[in-house]
Chains A and B, each alone.
Chain A
Amino acid sequence: MANNSKIKLTFNTREVEAPEGVTVLRAAELNDIYIPTLCSHKDLSPFGGCRLCIVEIEGMRGYPLSCSTIADDGMVVLTETEAIREIRTELVQLILSEHPSSCLICKEADECKPFTKTVRKSGVTTGCRYCPNDGQCELQDVVNYLGITELSYPVIYKEHEPERMDPFFDRDYNLCILCGRCIRMCQEVRGTSVLAFNFRGNKTRVGTAFGRNHIEAGCEFCGACINVCPTGALAEKASKWDGIPDGSVIATCPYCAIGCQLELFHKDGWFSKAVPVHDSEVNDGQACLKGRFCMGEVSHHFERARKPMARIDGYWKEQLWDEAIEKAAEKLKDLKPDEFAMLISPDCTNESLFTAQKFVRTVMQSNSIDSTARSSLGGGLPFWERMFQKPIKIQEIKKAKTILAIGLDTRFNFSIIGVEIRKAIKAGARLVTINSRRSNLAQYSHCWLQVEPATEGIMLDALVKSLFNNATDLKKELKLSGVKKEKLADALELLKGQDDLMVIVGPRIFSYTDNADLISSITELSKKDNVSIIPLYYGTNTRGAIDLGAFPEILPGAVFKGDEKTTKKLESAWKVKFPKDDGITIDKIQAGECRPKVLYLVGAVPFAQRPDCDYLIVQDIYEPDFDVDLYLPATSFLESSGTLVNMEGRVQDAPGVEKLPDSVMYGRARPDWWILSQIAKQLDVAGFDYESSDNVLDEISDLADGFPKSGRIHRKMDTLRVETVLPETVPVSAKPRKKSGFLLVMQPGGYSYRGVDITSKVEGLQILNPEEGFHLNSEDAKELGITEGEKLIVTAGDKSGTACARIEDEIPKGAIYLFKPLAFGGLKDRCDLEQLFRLETNPCPVEVKKVGV
């Protein structure tokens, strides 16, 4: 409420203040006065279902509901009279008569509680296990508040089959009290509407259409419904039996550039679960499946490699840190600049990225530091630098009047963006989408321009030309993209004459070989004042990598290598002569143009097989699937602290929650910046006396504008200074391809974290598995005579690859979609596709056959 004026009211005997326009309940909450509730929630519309929030208000008859009565100046509210208590007790007893309640009103409850958390498979039942005993049950709170110890109604068990078939969370609607919070959350806030009340009367239950499972019903597995459920009806599989958490810290999600603020709970020193922070500016209390459910398994997986290892005389041997550091130093000594290369993942923290580039530039005296972010930044670094100069504001989406979304699907990636788009639509915005396959936004689009695969850019170009240059002859564009004239006219009708336009570009379409139209039309759009652009990219801390110079051509502070002033500044700060070489990029290594003697991979494994080099050092959280010579175990996001830059340019804190001592069980992982500094010290190079990540951040803030000092990370919007001194590259447009047979469309995968694809570690993601195999339309599948899961062989010239078929009607006819992971760790199956991943053009005409025919 924009209104700032305050009102005064009295609760029981206490006089309090509250902002004007809030409900009586909210006024009480703001003043720490407890009124029991089970159905109201501050983010949701009032529902008036549980009636527990009744109060007495002087001058009003009966017992008004505090959750739907607006507080007035001078109101006198009684929250705890005898009469109210009696009604509430009655109501709760009625609820409990339909809710398994022996754990609540059992005579042994007090004695039983301390022992309910025993070893799960002990074969002894300790305590009743109806629901997760994590202290989050609001029904328990209410029962305790009212002191209910027995029931005067007969108990009914609803006999619903608990639903455990979906990934990530279980649903036991026998525990459901029909408060409707999950439904309102899913409909009002998320805009996904997976849940609704089905049937009526005593048959009412929460569910999906035709009782479908959540995967089929369009659930995004965001977990928002679990967060608001006042009972144990909805519960996260992974953390459900962890018990009451010991504490929590607020951290930044490590999985994408949105940088959601999450509260990480821990129990007995271990991470337990992640829940989005309620009033966070970036994500507004929401998250996606990756941040909400995929943290524990990625960090705690049994394959996690936590000890330094080295290949010695053909044997793979465990090393002490001293030995490992010594070995690394020995191999790195006396190398010429072109004999060494380091690749670093954009998922690393600012501190690690900065230390890595400083290490290469001062210790190795070379510019051969490259970030794998380069592979997902289609259009080139200069283009992205320019994009980052314009403000990017996620929270502006919901205020937009017109939204143009290109190549965007927000179901399992960037789902925060989808939530904001749907909020805008609820407020009356118009949505136009350009997509070759049906996306989760198609349902909400006012116009969906369904284009031929990989022609999204051509369509955008056509729109820009007619919106801003009044072009009318668009025959060529329409023909190439396969869009009807009338459809384009519809889209233009929606977009024309609007004073603001929000353009959101999905991360997948930048990877096409011919992205010239896309890049040039986005560039043109970015020059218009009333157009906001949100370009999405994979790689959590890509902005950090650019700002801190984790590329051969960029220096810390996001300036071009040739810049005299910055070079001088760095030379005097680091007391070295700055290297002048061009540096080895990931592209050159992948193309086989360069062969470094020693290759050092920091959390980046963009190879399916061992890259060609004499000595391979890998520093990551998992060992790669091929032979390495030295493995240095890095800490995961849960185990070490640092900062990350999100897509808006905010520098956000990512403190770890697990501070476990070295041991056989916990291993001996170290932060990336620590490992690199130790090697530098071993080689007698000064300037690496960092004790903590804070020391590194302090140095960063001295050398790169916009970065705060440690201890002063403000999470506020911060546009980092990005100077475009990188020379612009002109994108080359490839010839129009001729069509025959199928078109193989390759898109980057969105599930890598450092060197692994997290799908390989997270069970729930394996069930969803949105990226495995060849995706094709059901009609095509019928013609080829294949069914879901059967093997297909795809051939282009002398290159071919085999994988299983995934039949999806979202895929247009005549196309085969394939996801190319950015990191191969753990993806043994997709390694068979390497030849296809290295095809020269994307999309590429291919032959498709069933294996064995």
Chain B
Amino acid sequence: MVVKTAASVLEKFSTRRENLIPMLQKVQEVEGFISPESIKLISDKLRISENEIYGVSTFYAQFRFTPPGEHSIYVCMGTACHVKGGQQILNMLEYELGIKEGQTTEDGRFDLNRVACLGCCALAPVIKIDDKIYSQMSVLKLMDVLEKYTQSVEVTDE
């Protein structure tokens, strides 16, 4: 199988400015994040400055600028979760992992993100790790969950 790179997927686009967002999306799809190198490639192709592209892409929450970690943590910040203390959960995670939302830990194990509503408001506050939902979180529960991920690679349903 041919490994897709940012350069190879970008080739298919024309040099029209309107392609900026689709290009960013495609790059994120194949590489998992938007690297400075990809921004440079897009910049050369569309003849828009890297600074402008960065400005546009940081406006959208969907783009990330660091490589994703092994596990992606999503903290729900929807209304219900917010009321039930989602912010504290996020603060706690930021403190524990030593990163800010949108970033990846140095060992590449976790990345941390916020999302709008995971659709299970009754179980608020909620976080999602990879595809698994953890409901009615508290700081203590959070520690347990994190521990599982830091100790073993495989996480199975209990």
Cβ A197 vs Cβ B59 within 8 A: yes
Q: Which residue of A lies closest to B48 (CB)?
A: A193
CA of A200 to CA of B54, assembled, Å = 12
Asked if A218 is at the interface of the complex by the 8 Å CB criterion, the answer is yes
Is there a chain B Cβ closer than 8 Å to A198's Cβ?
yes
- A208 on the B face (CB < 8 A): yes
B36 within 8 A of A: yes
Among B36, B44, B52, B59, the residue within 8 A (CB) of A210 is: B36
Given the known interface contacts A196-B52, A198-B54, A200-B59, the answer about A444 and B36 at a Cβ–Cβ threshold of 8 Å is no
Partner of A193, one of B49, B58, B65: B49
Q: Which residues on the A side are within 8 Å of B47 (C-beta)?
A: 443-444
Chain B contacts for A200, CB-based, 8 A: 58-59
Contact, CB under 8 Å: A198 / B36: no
Q: Is A187 an interface residue (CB 8 A)?
A: yes
Residue B119 CB within 8 A of the other chain: no
| Structural contact, B43 and A208, CB atoms closer than 8 A | no
Contact (Cβ within 8 A) A193 B52: yes
Q: A210-B36, A443-B43, A443-B44 are in contact. Are A193 and B51 (CB under 8 A)?
A: yes
CA distance A515 to B69 in the complex (A): 56
The residues of B that contact A192 with a CB separation of less than 8 Å are: 49
Interface residues in B27-82 by Cβ distance below 8 A to A read: 36, 39, 43-44, 47-56, 58-59, 65
Contact indicator B58/A198 (Cβ below 8 Å): yes
Q: 1/0 per position for A217-229, CB-CB distance to B under 8 A?
A: 1100000000000
Which listed residue (A199, A208, A217) contacts B59, Cβ 8 A?
Answer: A199
Interface residue tally for chain B (C-beta within 8 Å): 17
User: In the complex, which residues 166-222 of chain A have their Cβ closer than 8 Å to any Cβ of chain B?
Assistant: 187, 192-200, 207-210, 217-218
Interfacial chain A residues near B51, Cβ < 8 Å = 193-196, 207-209, 217-218
B49 partner, pick from A194, A198, A210, beta carbons under 8 A: A194
Distance A199 CA – B36 CA, assembled complex (angstroms): 16
The distance in angstroms between the C-alpha atoms of A195 and B54, with both chains bound, is: 10
Q: Which of A193, A197, A199 has the most C-beta atoms of chain B within 10 angstroms of its own C-beta?
A: A193
| Docked pose: A208 CA to B55 CA in angstroms | 8
Cα–Cα, bound, A217→B36 (Å): 12
Rounded to whole Å, the gap between the CB of A790 and the closest CB of chain B is 26
Q: State how many angstroms separate the Cβ of B13 from the closest Cβ of chain A.
A: 17
Cβ of B58: which chain A residues have Cβ within 8 Å of it?
198-200
Q: Which residues of A contact B55 (CB under 8 A)?
A: 196-198, 207, 209
Chain A: minimal CB distance from B33 (Å)? 12
Across chains A and B, the number of contacting residue pairs, with CB separation under 8 Å, is: 48
A193 to B54: give the CA distance in the assembly, Å: 11
Against B, the Cβ 8 Å flags (1 = close, 0 = not) of A803-821 are: 0000000000000000000
Chain A min CB distance to B42 (Å): 11
- A196 vs B49: C-alpha distance in the bound complex, in angstroms? 10
Residues of A443-466 at the interface with B, using a CB-CB cut-off of 8 Å, are 443-444
Q: What are the residues of chain A within 8 A of B36 when measuring CB–CB?
A: 209-210
Residues of A within 8 A of B53 (CB): 209
Contact residues in A for B50 (Cβ distance below 8 Å): 209, 217-218
**Contact partners of B59 in chain A: CB under 8 A:** 197, 199-200
Do A196 and B39 have beta carbons less than 8 Å apart? no
Which residues of chain A come closer than 8 Å to B43, judged between CB atoms? Answer: 443
Residue with the greatest number of chain A CB neighbours at <10 A, chosen from B39, B50, B52, B55: B55
Give Cα distance in the complex from A195 to B52, angstroms.
7
Q: Is the CB of A218 within 8 A of B54?
A: no
Whether the Cβ atoms of A196 and B54 lie closer than 8 Å is yes
Q: Given A197-B59, A200-B59, A209-B36, decide whether A443 and B49 contact each other with a Cβ distance below 8 A.
A: yes
Residue of A nearest to B65 (CB): A210
Say how far A110's CB is from chain B's closest CB, in angstroms.
41
Q: Is A209 within 8 A of B54, CB to CB?
A: yes
- Within the complex, the shortest CB–CB distance from A427 to chain B, in Å, comes to 15
Residues of chain A within 8 A (CB-CB) of B65 are 210
Q: How far is B49's CA from A207's CA once the two chains are assembled, in angstroms?
A: 13
Q: Give chain B residues whose Cβ lies under 8 Å from the Cβ of A218.
A: 49-51
Q: Which residues of A contact B52 (CB under 8 A)?
A: 187, 193, 196
- A31 → B minimal CB distance (Å): 37
Whole-angstrom distance between the Cβ of B142 and the nearest chain A Cβ = 24
Tell whether, in the assembled complex, residue B56 and residue A196 are in contact, meaning their CB atoms are under 8 Å apart: yes
CB distance from B45 to the nearest CB of A (A): 11
B76 to chain A, nearest CB (A): 17
Instruction: Name the residue in A187, A207, A209, A218 with the highest tally of chain B Cβ atoms < 10 Å from its Cβ.
Output: A209
* A199 to B44 Cα, complex, angstroms: 23
Name which residue of chain A comes closest to B59, CB basis: A200
Chain B residues closer than 8 Å to A196, beta-carbon distance: 51-52, 54-56
**What are 24 A-B contacts with C-beta separation under 8 Å?**
A193-B49, A193-B51, A193-B52, A195-B51, A196-B51, A196-B52, A196-B54, A196-B56, A197-B55, A198-B54, A198-B55, A199-B58, A208-B51, A209-B39, A209-B51, A209-B53, A209-B55, A210-B36, A217-B51, A218-B49, A218-B51, A443-B44, A443-B47, A444-B47
14 extra interface residue pairs, beta carbon distance < 8 Å, beyond A187-B52, A196-B51, A198-B58: A192-B49, A193-B49, A193-B51, A194-B51, A197-B55, A199-B59, A207-B55, A209-B55, A210-B36, A210-B54, A217-B51, A218-B49, A443-B47, A443-B49
**In the A-B complex, the 7 residue pairs with the closest CB atoms:** A196-B55, A193-B49, A209-B54, A209-B50, A209-B51, A193-B52, A198-B58
